Structure 1
Amino acid sequence: MVRDDVADHAKWATRFSCDRILHSEDVEICTADVEMKLEGNGPWSLGDDIMLVPAPGHTEGTVCLLYKPLKILFTGDHLMMTESGLSIMEMYNKYSVPKQVDSVQKLIQFDFDWIIPGHGWRIEFKDFQEKNTILEAFVREKYNQYSSSYK
């Protein structure tokens, strides 16, 4: 059984002649042949332009991709915008909501103006300060909501 959105990973890799990257915490039998397995807590650099940022929570090995030249953070299922605002979609969490909130907190240190999620709407921030203000407010709200999980 495939745990998350990797069902056709081998087919896509063949079609586009590309290497696949997956954190070792998310490797399963069906993904054991990925070309690059990330180990540890990162972040990891792929050249000068791309940084892979650890964001455990949705899964144990969730990783976001930061494309530095355009200040875009691709978040996959980690963080998204919905009709009701910024969301981590707790109902679809496959590992730990508190760890996912902690991972959102850690994103504040990175310089990006855009969030491109796997689901939901993209988010554009006018600057670093607006991004930090919005993420900090979101994290504060979630820490209050899940305060018993942080004891």
Structure 2
Amino acid sequence: MKEYYQLTNEELLKKLGTSLKGLNADEVRTRQEKYGFNQLAEIKKTPLIYKFLGNLVHLFAILLWVGGILSFVGNMPQLGWAIFAVIIINAAFSLWQEFKAEKATEALKKLLPAYAMVVRDNEQKHVLAEELVPGDLLVLEEGDNISADCRVIQEFEMRANNSILTGESEPV
């Protein structure tokens, strides 16, 4: 089975059940019911204390706890305290990484455009980005952010700025 990027434009349009005229209102409604809205999934936030405690009791941490206890039993308290310190420092670093990842995800959500230009019923229309469905034809212009996973089927002197993903400042 070919991936979407391997298909010709005609094969892709057929597979997605669309055409260059775009989807009609009934098709959009049906696809929204089937696939849902074009939104990043909202993840229920776990309180920081639970995340921290979770980092103290995963498999590797439990092995270290056992090692620390055995150090005390073996009359090596300095080693035991050092192991316990490593466990707590590791849990703190893990918590910090999770916190930064959550903030990065929130920042990406803010970058997503609120509206997109699509072709529907053979007309260009502004729609909420969350209303995009598989098979929609996006019309992109210079400076637009892309609101969903998509495949380019026609372009003219297109360049993409991937700096937010790669850190490279030059468009490709």
The TM-score range, normalised by the shorter chain, is under 0.3
- Name the larger-Rg structure: 2
Higher relative contact order (CA 8 A, sep 6+): 2
Taking structure 2 as the reference length, the TM-score comes to: 0.22
Taking structure 1 as the reference length, the TM-score comes to: 0.24
Higher strand share: 1
Higher helix share: 2
